[in-house]
Every structure is written in structure tokens, then in C-alpha cells.
Structure 1
Amino acid sequence: MTNFLYKNDLPDDLDLGPMVAIDCETMGLNPHRDRLCLVQMSSGDGHAHMIQIAPGQTEAPNLCKMLADPKVLKLFHYGRFDIAAMFNAFGTLAEPVYCTKIASKLVRTYTDRHGLKNLLDQLIKVDISKHQQMSDWGARDLSKAQLDYAASDVLYLHKLRDRLNEMLVREGRMALAQSCYDFLPTRALLDLEGWPDVDIFSH
């Protein structure tokens, strides 16, 4: 596993390929209050590329170009939050997307455990640590433990997607899942616009 840490944006010449796993670290769970601190990515090759976002930073042109590229599938685990956090920071909506939490909820109806640690352990036999989850991501200098934790959130999403897709096909829910992924960026915008806890489809 190799971690590459960049300041403010991706290098101009970095090509992460047609499918990129993405995760974010923030100062908290309120995107209007808690700033985006780190964006980590992997093409599924065992390397993690990370961008440390400076306080007040509103631009990351190379990252935003990739987020908006219709030829690049963005893989998330609970993409609803990450999509909203990056849109709130940079004004760019990630599309098209795939979310392993949504896929899990559609096919793993025998459990209520859909966290990334549970999925990796049960479906691809990988054990990751969550000890750094609540650490200070706004620190100027991130520790090796923090970077290793951040990397683990993206390094295995490609394999996890493959396994979940097998289950979606088996259960006849692939088309339904795709419809959910297509709506996910809009769901993130609804969160930012003030409907985080309202079911707009209810009576």
C-alpha cells in the first residue's frame, strides 16, 4: 500500500482511470459548518492518492474535472455525505456514482450492519481499523495512522463493488440499484438545501 499526499489539488498529469474510489474526511458531519479536510482516492491498484484541503480553499480544478467527468465512475461508501461535502466545498457535483452502502442495503437484507468495516470483513475478508475515525482531520500535519486509515476507506471499494454486483444480479436488483445511484447526487443536494431528514416522496 502506497499513500500519495498532495496539497490543495491533484497533479495535472495524474490519471486514475475510468473508475475511482473516493472518500472524504471532514471536521464533523454538518457540511455547512464542518469544513472538508481530506479527499482520498484509489483506482483499485493498491495505491491511495490524497488531497489535503486548506482552510478556506474553494477551488481544486483537477479534482473537480475528474468528479464531473461522465466517463469516470466514482465509487463511494455512503456517497450521500461525500458528494454533498465536495459540492459544498467546490461547487462540483460528482456524477456518475456508485455507492456500496446502497448496494448493501438492497441485497444484504438479512442484517442491519452496512458499515464499511462490516462489509469488507464479511464479503472480501479484509479487516480494517477505525481507530482514527474521530481524529483531528484539520491538523496541518496528519499522522501516518491517519493516512493509513484514510487509505483503507478507498483501497478495497473496487473489490467490494464486484462482490456486491454479483449479489445484485443474483437477487434481480441491479436495475433498481442503478436508479438509486442515479438519484444519489440529487439526494446530496437536497441535504444541502435543507431536506436532510424529510422524505419528500411521503404523503
Structure 2
Amino acid sequence: MPNARIHLHRGDLPEGLSLGPVVAVDTETMGLNPHRDRLCLVQLSAGDGTAHLVQIVPPRLGGTGADCPRLRALLADPGTVKIFHFARFDLAILRHALGVDAAPVRCTKVAAKLVRTFTDRHGLRDLCRELLGVEISKQQQTSDWGAAELTTEQLAYAASDVLHLHALWERLEGLLRREERLELAEACFRFLPHRAALDLLGYSEPDIFDH
């Protein structure tokens, strides 16, 4: 979305902001270990071409850390559906860092794996290209998200991860209905917060569902 609007908020969402009943959500962290690597950014979009980025700064660096009541309330609101891509990780880091269980959820990665069994390309970039005809860049994926000042390139990258999730879920939901797997997908989505909780307890390896 070349004309996307990006708003950066330090510490919490602004008072009075409404993002509607379905919100796309993503996170940026210092790494992929929720116990070790801190949460730095939470991105949200109502699917209207606008992204709201909440920078999470720990108290030791002058921020308010997990004291973000408006963000936490939105994530925990049972009346707001949250769309993620690879929700398993995001749900774990949000639970560990903010003490919030984000539900109900939809996960475009899980949905893609259920219906796109003809390919092993289930990354967000691949899905956006193949289902939406949209090219997104992953160049900033491994940049330093803990920096006090994020670059314009970082903000654009972070926003791109949520700006297309509504449209992507719409396409994938249609495929799930076509292949009669929507009910199965919804059962998977209900389980995802529990899967994230298992990961935080150390049950990602060995996986209790393995033989």
C-alpha cells in the first residue's frame, strides 16, 4: 500500500482510538525466544490502509513497559477478532511480555497450510504475492527493533506486516470454505493460545504431540 498511513505511538494506543471488530496484529522483538528477547513493537491495523505501531519501551530505558492498558484491553477483548500471521509466536510474546491472552484469533499461516497443500510457501511475503498480487519487503526483518528511534524503513516494514492481513484472511477464508476446512481451521485457532502457553512452559521441544 504505497499510500499507507503509519502512526507511531510510544507506550500505548491513544485514548479514544477505535479499530473496529477485526484487527490485524503483529509484533517485532529482539529475537525469537520470548523468555530472553523483549517485545519492542506491536503493530495494528483495522484494514483501512492505516497502521498503528505501539513502541514498547522498558522502564529502565525510560518507558512504561507492560503498562499499556489500552493496548492490553484491545488484545484481550473477546469481542475483537485478532488476525495474525504465525499467531503461535505472537501470542506467546504478548502473553509473556504484557500478561495478556489475545483471543479470539485467526492465523493466516495456519489457514494457508490447511488449504495450500500444493506448496510449501506459506510465508507472508509469498501469500501476499500469490493471493493478493502485492509485493512486500522483508529487508528490515532482522534489524534492531530495540533502538530508541526506529528508521523510516523499519516503520514501513512493520506496517506492511499488518496492512494486508484483512484481505489475505478474506481470500484464505474463501479457500477454507471451498475445501470444507473452515470448521477445522476455527478449532485450530481456538487452540492457538493454549499452544502458545505450552511453548512458554518449554513444551515446544520436545513437542507433547510428537510420538
- TM range, normalised to the smaller chain? over 0.9
Instruction: Report what 1:85 is aligned to.
Output: 93
Report matched runs for 1:75-114 at 5 Å: 75-114=83-122
In structure 1, give the amino acid aligned to 2:78.
P
1:24 aligns with 2:32: no
CA distance in 2, matches of 1:141, 1:68: 28
CA distance in 1, matches of 2:190, 2:8: 30
User: What's the CA shift string for 1:60-105, capped at 9, x where partnerless?
Assistant: 1111101111110000000111111111111110010000000000
In structure 2, give the amino acid aligned to 1:177.
A
Instruction: Report what 1:12 is aligned to.
Output: 15
1:184 aligns with 2:187: no
Instruction: Report what 1:3 is aligned to.
Output: 6
In structure 2, give the amino acid aligned to 1:61.
P
Task: Choose from 119, 139, 150 the match for 2:158.
Answer: 150
List gaps (5 residues or longer) in structure 1: none
Instruction: Report what 1:196 is aligned to.
Output: 204
1:161 aligns with 2:169: yes
With the length of structure 2 as denominator, give the TM-score of the two structures: 0.94
Residue 154 of structure 1: SS of its match in structure 2?
helix
CA distance in 1, matches of 2:206, 2:189: 19
The alpha-carbon deviation at position 11 of structure 1 amounts to 1.0
In structure 2, give the amino acid aligned to 1:44.
G
CA distance in 1, matches of 2:205, 2:152: 36
The alpha-carbon deviation at position 200 of structure 1 amounts to 2.0
With the length of structure 1 as denominator, give the TM-score of the two structures: 0.98
CA distance in 2, matches of 1:54, 1:164: 35
- Which has the larger displacement, 188-197 or 23-32? 188-197
Task: Choose from 24, 27, 40 the match for 1:37.
Answer: 40
- 8 Å CA contact 2:56, 2:66 repeated in 1: no
Greater than 6 Å deviation, 4+ residue runs: none
Residue 153 of structure 1: SS of its match in structure 2?
helix
Residue 139 of structure 2: SS of its match in structure 1?
coil
Residue 70 of structure 2: SS of its match in structure 1?
helix
1:55 aligns with 2:58: yes
- Which has the larger displacement, 49-58 or 123-132? 49-58
